[in-house]
Amino acid sequence: MSVKNWLKERFPIDYNKFIEINENIFIKEPIPNHMKKWFYCTGATPLILLSLQIVTGILLTFYFVPSPEMAYESVRHITEDVRLGFWIRGLHRWGSNMMIITLLLHMTRVFFTRAYQKPRELNWIIGVVLFLLTLAFSFTGYSLTYNQLSYWATTVGTNMFKQVPFIGHWALVFLRGGEEVTANTLTRFFTIHVGLLPPLILLFVAVHIIILRIHGVSEPEGFEKGHYAFYPHHFYKIIIVTLFLLAFLSTLTVILPPGLGTPANPTVTPFHIKPEWYFFPTYRFLKLVPLSVGIYATAAFLVVMTFWPFIEPLLAKTNESRRRWAFSVGGLTLLITVALTIWETVVL
């Protein structure tokens, strides 16, 4: 008996139907013509990076030890002793940075082509949730290296949760595993980073893609109507992006390997302290305004951003003026974010 028949007997599914479904869902997925432009393919890139993060992340857990005594030391061990450890860690570190960059590009593109309009509002909201989950990944992952900067970023970051009305104190105790940053905090961040967030982000990615597939990719104006099949054109495009990312991230790792910093010291806050670049706007903003203003303004911004697809129609009736609103709000957000980031980068 052939292997195929042997398997078919024990796993009795309609093989032809399976191929048919596969063809309809993947191979012949209709891709609109505008997607031939690279600029419109920023959605798949974070997904490729996420897969890469999962692989490198699992590899890192083979050596990483989440305890105050061992965390820094095990990261040093991975970077300096383990065979090709610096490469895996570098891929993971640069991959996380690249994921945020590509997500920002993807969100900017979706916002300015106004692809979030009815009936795709929910997918924009899920997209925002995915972005926030990625930031949660970055924050918890960054804390695990347990050097001075990451330790104090954890202290400051978790303290910010305290300002949330009503549940603030509970959130703080939940995240820290007590009132202060201790060994509990490190194990919690580790569990959240490797156990809680991955299934959550995969779930949201699945829903994001399912909604996208049901509605089809939204088509911006000014392109010739029409579709082409996912395979082979788009399939190979994704392969090219993947290969490029692997080469690019490896190059970054070799040229700019992530450092170790100095081991965490809970008794001294270093004089020059800065979070990762993607938190620069919030960080600069927090320095400028009183704490409660900072927290509430950030929260308000998040709420408006999340529900923008529902807010926009309330602002104006005609499509033209809605577009003007979106472009002004989006442009202003971009301007302020970039300005605050540059300010924080230049000024110590």
Partner 1 sequence: MAQEEQKQSRRKFLFSLGIIGVIIIAVVTFARDMLLYLFPPKKEKKFHKYLVGKRGEIAVGKAKEIKIGKTPVYVVHLEKEYKVFSGICTHLGCIIRWEEDKGRFFCPCHKGIFDKTGKVIGGPPPRPLDQFRVEEEGDLVFMYVKNKTRGPWA
Backbone angles phi, psi at 261, to 5 degrees: 70, -170
Residues that bind partner 1 (CB under 8 A): 67-69, 152, 155-156, 159-160, 170, 173-174, 177-180, 182-184, 266-273, 283, 286-292, 294
Cβ distance to partner 1 smaller for residue 269 or 319:
269
Calpha distance 125→254 (Å, rounded): 37
In the complex, minimum distance from the CB of residue 163 to partner 1, in angstroms, rounded to a whole number: 9
In the complex, minimum distance from the CB of residue 273 to partner 1, in angstroms, rounded to a whole number: 5
DSSP for 248-266 reads: HHHHHHHHS-----SBP-T
- Do 50 and 125 touch, CB atoms closer than 8 A? no
Calpha distance 344→336 (Å, rounded): 12
Cβ distance to partner 1 smaller for residue 108 or 159:
159
Cβ distance to partner 1 smaller for residue 33 or 187:
187
CA dihedral 58, 52, 48, 187 (to 10 degrees): 40
In the complex, minimum distance from the CB of residue 67 to partner 1, in angstroms, rounded to a whole number: 7
- Measure Cα distances from 77 to 60, 81, 86 in Å: 11, 5, 9
In the complex, minimum distance from the CB of residue 264 to partner 1, in angstroms, rounded to a whole number: 11
Half-sphere exposure (Cβ direction) of 132: Cα atoms closer than 13 Å:
14
DSSP for 154-166 reads: HHHHHHHHTTSTT
Cβ distance to partner 1 smaller for residue 210 or 273:
273
Cβ distance to partner 1 smaller for residue 12 or 290:
290
In the complex, minimum distance from the CB of residue 160 to partner 1, in angstroms, rounded to a whole number: 6
Calpha distance 116→45 (Å, rounded): 19
In the complex, minimum distance from the CB of residue 152 to partner 1, in angstroms, rounded to a whole number: 6
In the complex, minimum distance from the CB of residue 244 to partner 1, in angstroms, rounded to a whole number: 38
Cβ distance to partner 1 smaller for residue 8 or 284:
284
End-to-end CA distance of the chain: 73
Q: DSSP letter at 277? A: G
Calpha distance 286→342 (Å, rounded): 15
In the complex, minimum distance from the CB of residue 154 to partner 1, in angstroms, rounded to a whole number: 10
In the complex, minimum distance from the CB of residue 297 to partner 1, in angstroms, rounded to a whole number: 13
Calpha distance 53→56 (Å, rounded): 5
DSSP E strands in 79-163: the ranges are none
- Do 147 and 72 touch, CB atoms closer than 8 A? yes
Cβ distance to partner 1 smaller for residue 108 or 163:
163
Cβ distance to partner 1 smaller for residue 109 or 162:
162
- Do 99 and 105 touch, CB atoms closer than 8 A? no
Cβ distance to partner 1 smaller for residue 177 or 258:
177
